[in-house]
Structure 1
Amino acid sequence: MRPHFRYSTLLVLLTQVFLLAACAAPGQTRDEQRQHIQQTEREVLDALYRLKPDLRSDVAKAPGYAVFSNVNVNLLLASASTGYGVAVSGSGERTYMKMGEVGVGLGFGVKDFRALFVFDSPAVMNRFVEHGWSFGGHADAAAKAQDKGMAVGGEVVADGMRVYQLTESGIALQATLKGTKYWKDSALNFD
């Protein structure tokens, strides 16, 4: 086996271990993990409302929304992300969820970002919670470290939902084709 191949294989395995470990919300107990997700939800909504004040009424009128925290790692020809979040119906019912993403394409970097999904109908929200599969191309350039750098929160409209993204920290330059899966977190949804 060539040394280059062994190094690449080790790097891929280490990245996979990191991503699997990062999929769960921080906290030792289910209640701590739920509290962390709810705190992230409040922070994301507050930040987006400051950037786009009219979004507050859109979220209030929507049949539901979801907020996710995500870490993305892109190493040359492959990228992977993992995260957690919550979907909230118009009636206030919460469904805690996880997410995972894999992609192929050129890029390099690590990025920590938050996303808000605003659903246009109960059927779209139900499809997202029950099936939650997304696939598409993605081009990104972000550079931010704590309060320094640039982060762009944009709006993407797709499949009956609007998606807003905030970059928290990291640096990334990538153009990838990704598949993303969102699913219910069985450990946090059942008592």
Structure 2
Amino acid sequence: MNRRTATFSLIPLIAFPGLAFGANKAEEQAEVRKAAQDALNALYKAQPSARKQVESAAGYAAFSNFGMKILLAGSGKGEGVAVNNKTKAMVYMKMVELQAGLGFGVKKFQMVWVFENDKALNEFINSGWTLGGQATAAAKTGDSGSAFQGAVAVAPGVWVYQITDTGLAVELTAKGTKYYKDEDLN
């Protein structure tokens, strides 16, 4: 096996670090919950005022994501949980991402979605969510602009924080991304 073959053989192992081979459902659920809590902790460290927003919202979803781009194509994968703050119900979710365009690199990032109302939370959980070319991300302006400081509005009542190794991202870079229920863990 040459170096190139060895490198590409390792990509699946690197790209999907959260899933341990032979882990049972309870162990996988615990790993996903820990990754989601790590995403929340990273957010609260980067943007302390976000804690109040997350806790007072109808619900939230926290994800740990990993992406890779080699030459003209790239992909990403992530796992997380969506939580209804009123009922404390937790739904395990997955994320997949496809990218096009020239590039090379690996990125690890976390995302925390905040849902101001039950309708937005339930749509995210039951219908999934797709961020693509048609999705426009814009910072909140006006009287309540500081309410979600550091977050990006992606729909009415839906805010997203993206946390990278260098801190809170100032723009949302997830394009061609789909969020959906994890049928194996729910």
Equivalent residue runs for 1:47-86 within 5 Å:
47-86=42-81
Residue 184 of structure 2 aligns with an amino acid whose one-letter code is A
Deviations 1:165-187 (A, max 9, x none): 12249xxxxxx883211111111
Unmatched tracts of structure 2, length 5 or more: 136-149, 167-172
Q: Output the amino acid matched with 1:185.
A: D
Residue 87 and residue 25 in structure 1: after superposition, are their counterparts in 2 closer, same or farther (change >3 A)?
farther
Show the 5 A alignment for 1:105-124. 105-124=101-120
TM superposition score normalised by structure 2? 0.73
Runs of 4 or more off by more than 4 Å in structure 1? none
Give the C-alpha shift of residue 105 in structure 1: 1.9
Conserved? CA contact 2:79–2:95, under 8 Å: yes
Higher strand share: 1
Q: Structure 1: 5+ residue runs without aligned partners?
A: 1-6, 139-153, 170-175
- Name the residue aligned to 1:172: none
Q: Deviations over 1:23-74 (max 9, x none)?
A: 8644711111111122122222122112212111111110010011111011
Q: Give the fraction of aligned pairs with identical amino acids, expressed as a percent.
A: 40
SS at match of 2:132: strand
**What is the RMSD of the two structures over their aligned residues, measured on CA atoms?**
3.1
Alignment of 1:23-34 (within 5 A): 25-26=19-20, 28-34=23-29
Corresponding position of 1:173: none
Q: State how many pairs are aligned.
A: 159
Q: C-alpha separation between the residues in 2 aligned to 1:49 and 1:108? A: 30
